[in-house]
C-alpha cells in the first residue's frame, strides 16, 4: 500500500460516515475502527520508506491550472515522523474520549481534522498546504466550542481570530512568492529556487514566522493558548497540543527557513531568543499553577520554546533533536492530558490543592503517572531525554548561554512536574480522593501505550532518528547553520 492520497482521504471518509451515526456506542467503536485502520495503513509507508531517497510516494494532480496550483503531496524524512505521530495519536485520542459518550458528530470532527493535519504535513504545493492548514482549524474550533468548559465561546473566538490572522499573513506571503516564481506556480520546489533580494526575504520571513509563532505558540504570541487548552475537552486539547502545534514547527522547517535563507540569517537569532525566553517564562508560570491542566498547558509552551530554538539553531544535532522531540512531546502530552482527564472527572476538580494520596488507592495509575511525568521532565531512559539531549548539544554549538538557559527546562520541568505529582498522588488522602474509582479499560490502554512508547523510544530511539537523519543533513547543508 503506497497510495498517499488514500491515506489522507481515509479519515475523511470515516468522518463522513460518522456524521450520520447518532448513538454514542456504535459511534465510539466505529471511530476507533477507522482510526486504527488509518494507523495500520501508515505502517507500509514506514517499512517502504527509504531515508536517503528524498521525497517519496509523490502524487500530483492539476487543481487550478489557471493559477498554477496543483494538488501535490509526498513524504520525506521530515514529514514521515509527523504523519506517524498523527496516525498513532488519533486512535489514542479517540480512546481517551470514550467516557464522555460523544455521538458521531464529535468523532467526525476528529477524523476530519486528521485529514487536514495529514494534508499539512504532506503538502508540496503552497496552496494545498494553506488549505490543509485552515481545514484543520475548523473542526478543532467546533470541537472546543461545542464540548468545552466554561467561557468556551469567548476563548475559542479569540483562538480562532488570532490563529486565522496569522494564517492570513502567511497567505499574503505565499501569494507574493507565487507572483515571483518564473513558472507561475505554487510548488515547494519553485519556492526553494527563488532568489529574492534581502528586503523582500525579511518581510516574507516575518509573515511566515508570525503565523507559525502563533500556532506553536512562541512567546509572546502565546496568550491564546492557556485559556484555549484549559476550556477545551480532553480530546480537543490532545489534538491541539499533540499534533496541531507541530504544524507550526513543521512549517518552520519546511516552508520558512529554506524559502527565505537570508531572512533566517538576519532574524534567526531573535527566534532562538524568544524560544529560550519562553522556556523560562512559561516554566515559572507553570510552577505557580494550581490548576493541573493549565500547568501542563504552560509546560507545553516551555517545551515548544526549546524545540523552536533548536530548529532555528539549524545544525544536524539540534534539528534531529527537534524532530524526535516533536514526536516525543506529542506522545507525552497526550499522556499528561489523559491523566488530567482521569483525575478531574473522578474528583470533579482540577485544583491540585484539593487532591492528595491517590497513589494509595490507585497504584497502577501512580506508576503510569510517574513514567509519563519522567518522560515529560526528560529523565534518561525516557524519550524526553533523547530529544532534550540532542537539542541541547545542538544549541550548545550555537551558544553556551542559550544551552544553559534552555537546559533550565529540564530542571524547572522537574520542579513543577514533581511538585504536581507530589500534590496529586502522594501525601494524605482526603474524603474526595479516598473514593477514587478504578481505571477503565480504555484509560488503561491509552496510559499503557503512552508509557510503553515513552520507555521504548527512550531506550531505542534510533529507528525514529534514522527516518529524518538524511533529510535533516541535506537541509543543513543547503542552508548554513546560524552562527553567533
Partner 1 sequence: MGAIITLSILAILVLYLGLFKANKSLLPVSLAGLLGSGVLLLLDWNKAAEPLYSGMVLFDRYAIAFSVLCILITVLVLMLSKDYFDRISTNVAEYFALIIFSLTGAVLVTSFHNMAMLFIGIEIMSVALYILAGIRKKDFGSNEAALKYFLMGAFSTGFLLFGITLLYGASGSFDLAEIRQFVVDNPTGIPAMFYVGVLLLIVGMAFKVGAAPFHFWTPDVYDGAPILITIFMSTVVKAAAFAGFLRLFLYSFEPLQDFWVPVILIITIITLFVGNITALVQHSFKRMLAYSSISHAGYLLFGIVAIGSTSSGSVLLYATAYSLATVIAFGSLILVKRTTGSDDYESFNGLAKKNPRLALIITISMLSLAGIPLTAGFVGKFILFAGVLADYQVLLVVLAVINAAIAIYYYFRVIVAMYFKPTEREVVAYPINYQVVFVLAAILTLLIGVYPGLIISLI
Evaluate whether 207 touches 283 at the Cβ level (below 8 Å).
Answer: no
> Using the rule CB under 8 A, is 266 a contact of partner 1?
no
- Cell matching residue 2: 503506497
Query: Of the candidates 35, 191, 210, 211, which has an alpha carbon nearest to the alpha carbon of residue 109?
Result: 35
> Using the rule CB under 8 A, is 130 a contact of partner 1?
yes
Tell me how far apart the alpha carbons of residues 402 and 392 are, in angstroms, rounded to a whole number. Answer: 9
In this complex, which beta carbon is closest to partner 1, that of residue 98 or of residue 255? 255
Question: What residues pair up with 123 in beta bridges, in sequence order?
Answer: 73
Residues in the chain: 484
Task: Evaluate the CA torsion angle 426, 432, 438, 442 in order and state its sign.
Answer: negative
User: Shortest distance, CB of residue 172 to partner 1, whole angstroms?
Assistant: 5
> Using the rule CB under 8 A, is 179 a contact of partner 1?
yes
> Using the rule CB under 8 A, is 164 a contact of partner 1?
yes
Give the x-and-dash track for 7-46 against partner 1 (CB under 8 A): ----------------------------------------
- Interface pick for partner 1 out of 1, 172, 434, 459 (rule CB under 8 A): 172
Tell me how far apart the alpha carbons of residues 481 and 115 are, in angstroms, rounded to a whole number. Answer: 33
- Interface pick for partner 1 out of 152, 293, 294, 329 (rule CB under 8 A): 152
Contact range with partner 1 by CB under 8 A, out of 25-33, 162-170, 246-254, 333-341: 162-170
Contact range with partner 1 by CB under 8 A, out of 84-92, 149-157, 282-290, 303-311: 149-157
71, 102, 209, 266, 280 from 301: Cα distances, Å: 33, 29, 16, 25, 10
In this complex, which beta carbon is closest to partner 1, that of residue 66 or of residue 428? 66
Contact range with partner 1 by CB under 8 A, out of 61-69, 373-381, 427-435, 440-448: 61-69
In this complex, which beta carbon is closest to partner 1, that of residue 46 or of residue 162? 162
In this complex, which beta carbon is closest to partner 1, that of residue 235 or of residue 286? 235
In this complex, which beta carbon is closest to partner 1, that of residue 263 or of residue 413? 263
- Cell matching residue 301: 509552551
Which residues make Cβ contacts (< 8 Å) with residue 186, sequence separation at least 6?
67, 68, 69, 70, 125, 126, 127, 128, 174, 178
Window 362-421: residues binding partner 1 (CB under 8 A):
none
User: Shortest distance, CB of residue 145 to partner 1, whole angstroms?
Assistant: 6
Tell me the site size for partner 1, rule CB under 8 A. Answer: 29
Cell 513543521 found at: 250
User: Shortest distance, CB of residue 348 to partner 1, whole angstroms?
Assistant: 23
> Using the rule CB under 8 A, is 175 a contact of partner 1?
yes
- Interface pick for partner 1 out of 9, 13, 32, 134 (rule CB under 8 A): 134
Which residues make Cβ contacts (< 8 Å) with residue 215, sequence separation at least 6?
163, 166, 244, 245, 247, 248, 251
Tell me how far apart the alpha carbons of residues 201 and 197 are, in angstroms, rounded to a whole number. Answer: 6
In this complex, which beta carbon is closest to partner 1, that of residue 103 or of residue 346? 103
Evaluate whether 446 touches 95 at the Cβ level (below 8 Å).
Answer: yes
Helix (H, G, I), strand (E, B) or coil at 181: coil
Tell me how far apart the alpha carbons of residues 372 and 75 are, in angstroms, rounded to a whole number. Answer: 30
- Cell matching residue 360: 494509595
Tell me how far apart the alpha carbons of residues 293 and 424 are, in angstroms, rounded to a whole number. Answer: 12
Instruction: Compute the half-sphere exposure of residue 45: CA atoms within 13 Å on the CB side of its CA.
Output: 30
Count of C-beta atoms within a 10 Å radius of residue 140? 28
> Using the rule CB under 8 A, is 157 a contact of partner 1?
yes
First to last CA, the chain: 46
User: Shortest distance, CB of residue 223 to partner 1, whole angstroms?
Assistant: 16
User: Shortest distance, CB of residue 325 to partner 1, whole angstroms?
Assistant: 30
Evaluate whether 454 touches 377 at the Cβ level (below 8 Å).
Answer: no
Window 91-110: residues binding partner 1 (CB under 8 A):
none
In this complex, which beta carbon is closest to partner 1, that of residue 131 or of residue 338? 131
> Using the rule CB under 8 A, is 171 a contact of partner 1?
yes
Contact range with partner 1 by CB under 8 A, out of 139-147, 238-246, 251-259, 466-474: 139-147
Q: Using CB under 8 A as the criterion, which residues of the chain lie in contact with partner 1 when the complex forms?
A: 63-67, 127, 130-131, 134-135, 138, 142, 145-146, 152-153, 157, 160-161, 164-165, 168-169, 171-172, 175-176, 178-179
Amino acid at each position: 500500500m503506497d497510495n498517499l492520497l488514500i491515506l489522507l482521504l481515509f479519515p475523511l471518509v470515516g468522518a463522513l460516515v460518522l456524521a450520520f451515526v447518532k448513538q454514542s456506542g456504535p459511534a465510539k467503536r466505529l471511530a476507533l475502527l477507522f482510526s486504527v485502520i488509518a494507523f495500520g495503513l501508515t505502517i507500509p509507508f514506514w517499512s517502504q520508506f527509504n531515508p536517503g531517497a528524498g521525497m517519496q510516494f509523490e502524487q500530483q494532480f492539476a487543481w487550478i491550472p489557471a493559477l498554477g496550483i496543483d494538488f501535490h503531496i509526498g513524504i520525506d524524512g521530515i514529514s514521515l515522523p509527523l504523519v506517524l505521530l498523527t496516525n498513532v495519536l488519533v486512535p489514542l485520542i479517540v480512546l481517551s474520549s470514550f467516557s464522555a459518550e460523544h455521538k458521531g458528530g464529535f468523532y467526525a470532527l476528529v477524523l476530519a481534522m486528521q485529514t487536514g493535519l495529514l494534508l499539512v504535513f504532506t503538502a508540496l504545493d503552497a496552496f494545498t498546504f494553506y488549505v490543509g492548514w485552515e481545514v484543520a482549524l475548523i473542526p478543532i474550533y467546533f470541537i472546543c466550542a461545542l464540548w468545552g468548559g466554561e467561557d468556551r465561546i469567548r476563548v475559542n473566538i479569540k483562538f480562532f481570530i488570532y490563529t486565522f490572522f496569522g494564517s492570513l499573513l502567511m497567505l499574503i506571503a505565499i501569494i507574493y512568492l507565487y507572483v515571483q516564481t518564473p513558472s507561475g506556480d505554487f510548488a515547494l520546489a519553485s519556492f526553494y529556487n527563488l532568489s529574492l533580494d534581502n528586503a523582500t526575504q525579511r518581510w516574507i520571513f516575518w509573515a511566515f514566522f508570525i503565523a507559525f509563532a502563533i500556532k506553536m505558540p512562541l512567546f509572546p504570541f502565546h496568550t491564546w493558548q492557556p485559556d484555549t487548552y484549559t476550556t477545551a475537552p480532553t480530546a480537543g486539547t490532545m489534538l491541539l497540543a499533540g499534533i496541531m502545534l507541530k504544524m507550526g514547527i513543521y512549517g518552520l522547517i519546511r516552508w520558512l527557513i529554506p524559502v527565505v535563507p537570508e531572512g533566517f540569517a538576519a532574524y534567526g537569532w531573535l527566534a532562538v531568543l524568544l524560544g529560550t525566553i519562553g522556556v523560562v517564562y512559561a516554566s515559572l508560570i507553570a510552577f505557580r499553577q494550581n490548576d493541573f491542566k493549565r500547568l501542563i498547558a504552560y509546560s507545553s509552551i516551555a517545551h515548544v520554546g526549546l524545540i523552536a530554538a533548536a530548529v532555528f539553531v539549524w545544525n544536524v544535532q539540534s534539528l534531529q533533536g527537534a524532530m524526535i522531540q516533536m514526536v516525543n512531546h506529542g506522545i507525552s502530552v497526550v499522556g499528561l492530558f489523559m491523566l488530567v482527564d482521569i483525575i478531574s472527572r473522578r474528583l470533579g476538580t482540577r485544583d491540585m490543592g484539593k487532591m492528595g494520596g491517590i497513589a494509595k488507592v490507585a497504584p497502577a495509575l501512580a506508576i503510569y503517572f510517574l513514567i509519563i511525568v519522567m518522560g515529560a521532565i526528560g529523565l534518561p531512559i525516557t524519550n524526553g531525554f533523547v530529544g532534550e539531549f540532542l537539542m541541547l548539544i545542538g544549541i550548545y554549538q550555537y551558544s553556551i548561554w542559550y544551552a544553559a538557559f534552555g537546559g533550565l527546562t529540564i530542571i524547572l520541568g522537574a520542579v513543577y512536574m514533581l511538585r504536581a505529582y507530589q500534590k496529586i498522588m502522594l501525601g494524605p488522602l482526603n474524603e474526595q480522593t479516598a473514593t477514587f474509582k478504578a481505571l477503565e479499560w480504555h484509560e488503561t490502554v491509552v496510559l499503557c501505550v503512552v508509557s510503553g512508547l515513552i520507555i521504548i523510544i527512550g531506550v531505542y530511539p534510533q529507528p525514529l532518528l534514522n527516518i529524518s537523519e538524511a533529510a535533516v543533513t541535506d537541509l543543513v547543508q543547503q542552508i548554513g547553520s546560524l552562527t553567533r
